[in-house]
Chain A
Amino acid sequence: MTYFLLRRLALMIFTIFFTSLIVFGLTQLLPGDIARLFLGRDASDAAIAEFNQTFRLNDHPLQQYVRWIIGDVTQVEGDHSRGILRGDWGRSFSAGYPRVQPLISRALQYSMMLTGFTLLISIPISILLGVFAGIRANSWLDNLIAIFSLSVVGLPEFVTALVLINTFALRLGWFDAISTPHANDGWFTIIQKLTLPALTATFVLLGYVTRMTRAGVQEELKKAYIRTAILKGLPRRVVLFKHVLRNALLPSVTVIALSIGWLMGGLVVIEQVYNYPGLGKLMVDAVLSKNYPVLQACVMIVITFIVLSNFLADLLYALLNPKVRYQS
């Protein structure tokens, strides 16, 4: 088990390091001058020189990379970079060159809220549907669940989002169409604002997790040890909740853990439609305004979450499965 975890951890660190190379390398490979690209064709040479000076774009790429990662080694006074390892994401290109770090932490906070709320809604619904479909395989209920979960997966996110907005925000008026939170929102308002985007994301996840759970339950019900459990005279609910679900949910747990990465950084469309200021929206805005420091920071954060959710999936699988726990 320790060996297994150490191996995973080493792999994880290497993956993040490798991504940082790619993320940094991409900005170096961009055609032309970054300053020129950002300030535009009409910018004066002086402005460009000043821009380059501020962001030290004239330094050797390797120097820039090292500064990005671990900060200034030589300059320790005044306005120096401390590097992303120490939580300094540098400065944004936008007016006044504010620090990236507060932007990122705000977006991260919102993304985590949305992710958490989505999981809170989607896990019980999809597992419940999957279990019902599994124990009543090939019944009308199973078919109904299959049709529902597959059709909502098939629909693109912006379509479900628009349908939800149209129905629950515009017609029924239960929720706001715009989910931008304000600093003085109470918890009820926050939940109200989160509901529609979270529901949209749930629809995407629902299909996967429901089908996975159904397959898991179906598979388990055929196992000889389920027959043993029934013939021990155990009550039906014990057979189902203790013996069937314990093993049937293993694949679903993996899928859910993996989906955390996607929820943190992949909700680009949903956040855009609901105007929700998470990492996905921040990333799109950074792309559109060619704000490379912000974009780099976003990508690094998202990648880290994807890698972490992979690790979490492996860890949970190992913890829940004694076979893995004891044999590796």
Chain B
Amino acid sequence: MNEEAVVLSARNVSIDYQIGKRWLNVIHDVSLDLHANRTHGLVGESASGKSTLALALMCYLAENGRITAGTIHYEGRNLLELAANELRQLWGSKMSLVPQNALSALNPSYTIGEQMGEVSRTHLGISRRESGLRAAEMLRSVRIADVENVLRSYPFQLSGGMLQRISIGMALSVAPSLLVLDEPTTALDVTTQAVILDLFRELIDRHDATALYVSHDLGTVAQFCDAVTVLYGGEVMESAPVKELYANPKHPYTQGLLASLPARANAAQEQRIHTIEGVAPSLAHRSPACVFAERCKHAIDRCHAEKPPLEHIGGRQTIRCFRWQEIAQDEATSAANQAAAEPVVRPQIDLPRKNELLTTHELAKKFGKRNALLRWLGKEVIPLHALDRVSITVNKGNTLGIVGESGSGKSTLARVLVALETADSGSIELLGENLSYELSQREPSFMASMRLIPQNPDASLNPYITVGSALERTLKVLAERSKHSENWQQAELSSKHGRWKRVHQLLKAVGLEESYRQRYPNQLSGGEKQRVAIARAFASDPALIIADEPTSSLDVSVQAVVLNLLKDLRETQEVAYIFISHDMDVIRYVADWICVMYLGQIVEEGSNEQLYAAPSHPYTEALFSAIPEPNPLLQKKRIRLEGELPSARNLPGGCPFHTRCPRKIGEICETDIPPIRPAGVGHFIRCHIEVDELSRLQSATEEDLQP
């Protein structure tokens, strides 16, 4: 097929959705071309309409949706004019979907073999036996080892990474020419994501397929796509080849989005991430002006009055902005000015560590120890090791970052610290005082001085209580609990008036207006909800805040705002954080000191600088290498972790990482617990390999990349 051929071409597509009695315009006037054998990225934040658009390009709409204008040409035919059975012949054979979360996208009641087989049976009319053979062959091509077993399994018996492999195998089973990948790796861990994306890349190339890759993750798009379209409020803001878009973003929204990535802030050694002010537009009515004008720092009167057209500017680039040329010039001048300015240097933290706020010593927690009934039936109960002798130290005013994949025990650590779970052994000391494992035994003042920001504000805010009441109630409980202790602003908070005054202070501190106290959680955006959760954590004037993935459910631009807020509050409120995240870029941005966890153990700890330079633990190294770099020009070293995360019920002997370690040296890794090796001041690596040797190995991999 000709490289330049256009496989799918959408022109001026608009889509409406019926919500209640009203029809809302969710996609407005979108045009884009997918070129043969290319991967096209479709990027946008939540509610930008990216998934709706991607599915609509396959001519699939939910029951309450309709395409109101435009044409979608696929291999010369206008899909919108096809009859239902003609579309059915295309779906699954010529164009396929790889869905977002494979577990929910596969029917729980049928085996993998059945669900894979029915595609080829429908389209190729082959027998059940032949389709089974074909499915097995497909699974082998997506590098699934135990094919026969997997074919007989039900979806819930398999891991997320495995299911995603199956999904793409299923999508490719009748050799389609167009693949729509709808956030195919969003539900996976970074290390698994890296392996899966490599596999996808290879399969797409091998099948000569054209792909549309939908994602909110600018990092994976940079590494995975050839061209990118940026969607905002249901409209195309900008389309360009990937290198062009990342090197020279032209639209103010694209510029803002890229700048709000923690990775960019880290690379530029900046103390604050750039943010996009304001909130995403409501879909309730389509603005007759530029959708981004409300939040655009370059907006002029014209931007608020009329909608800019989608302009073709050559080189397969389109842009929807009146001022892109002027903005490009402005940026060039300011960039020149910035280059002259000194990069801000991160303040060195004091070593050896002093000012200890919280320390834990060999904290351990196992789950599922007792189940009398099962034991009585003679079944062996294998406990799940969630935390294995974890010792951490948080200094006053510092941020301790804890990073690891799901199942590493990082959330359990948070829950044990605030006594939502009871530890089995080890000690927790706050300001030199030993804390009980049980919540009921803890001093109220300790509860006030250590607070949790939960991961998902949707789940932690009561939908029937206003923001103000929620905060006031927290203050009231705290005031009542600490009635007998004198160290806390008792007098002020015992009166309702005093509490409401404090509520206003808190709202102001997290950047919300006073009027927000009357709002219910469903009247807030995701970022605003998280601000309320932060305000609630700060209500008791704590010394330590434990933030458990506080930004992982947020869009990048909102994440930037929340990260900056947390950083500001650390200065003004004199608080220390334990910041838990799976995102190495975020951790690098916020943390002073970092612990890397794997299967309930800390495998490496060190200061921010130490950890991000060699030598590092092979697991840390793999984590780094798995992060998709939001810069298409940058090639990273490729260390891929094959295999699945072992179950914490069945911990591997010796070093827990040996089953996946790319630098395993031999039997010793399987039999002996690795020593804790010092690699710098306060920097420890738990590995059998000598620090110097690690250092040598890692710089060697680095050099291999140099051309």
A→B interface (CB under 8 Å): 3, 221, 223-225, 227-236, 238, 242-243, 246-247, 320-323, 326-327
Contacts and interface: CB of A to CB of B under 8 A. Distances in A.
Size band of the B side of the interface? 20 to 34
A231 B119 CA distance: 10
Nearest to A7: B373
A225 B107 contact: yes
Nearest to A325: B154
Given A224-B99, A224-B101, A326-B157, A232 B118 contact: yes
Contacts of A223: 104
A247 B108 CA distance: 9
Contact of A3 (B100, B108, B377): B377
25 contacts: A224-B99, A225-B106, A227-B60, A227-B99, A228-B107, A230-B60, A231-B92, A231-B96, A231-B97, A232-B91, A233-B92, A233-B119, A233-B122, A234-B92, A235-B88, A238-B122, A242-B110, A243-B107, A243-B110, A246-B109, A246-B110, A247-B108, A320-B109, A322-B154, A326-B156
Given A3-B377, A323-B154, A232 B105 contact: no
A233 B88 contact: yes
Contacts of A242: 110
A214 to B, nearest CB: 15
B676 interface: no
B315 to A, nearest CB: 33
B305 interface: no
B58 interface: yes
A224 B122 contact: no
Interface string B153-169: 01011000000000000
- Most chain-A CB neighbours within 10 Å: which of B58, B97, B107, B122? B107
Contact of A233 (B105, B123, B377): B123
A231 B180 CA distance: 11
A224 B104 contact: yes
A236 B84 CA distance: 10
A231 B58 contact: yes
Contact of A326 (B84, B122, B154): B154
Interface of B: 58, 60, 63, 84, 88-93, 96-97, 99-101, 104-110, 118-119, 122-123, 154, 156-157, 170, 377, 379
B109 A322 contact: yes
A322 B112 CA distance: 12
Contacts of B119: 232-233
Contact of B118 (A3, A234, A320): A234
B105 A224 contact: yes
Given A230-B60, A234-B118, A323-B154, A225 B105 contact: yes
Contact of B91 (A3, A233, A320, A322): A233
B99 A228 contact: yes
B105 A227 contact: yes
Nearest to A225: B107
Contacts of B101: 224
Contacts of A247: 107-109
Nearest to B170: A232
B93 A233 contact: yes
A326 B106 CA distance: 17
Going nearest first, the 4 A-B pairs with the smallest beta carbon separation are A233-B92, A233-B91, A232-B92, A224-B105
Contacts of B88: 233-235
Given A233-B123, A322-B154, A326-B157, A246 B91 contact: no
Nearest to A244: B107
Nearest to B156: A323
Contacts of B100: 224
Contacts of A246: 107, 109-110
A325 to B, nearest CB: 9
A231 B60 contact: yes
Nearest to B104: A224
Contacts of B154: 322-323, 326
B413 to A, nearest CB: 28
B122 A234 contact: yes
A231 B89 CA distance: 10
Nearest to B88: A233
A238 B156 CA distance: 22
Nearest to B97: A231
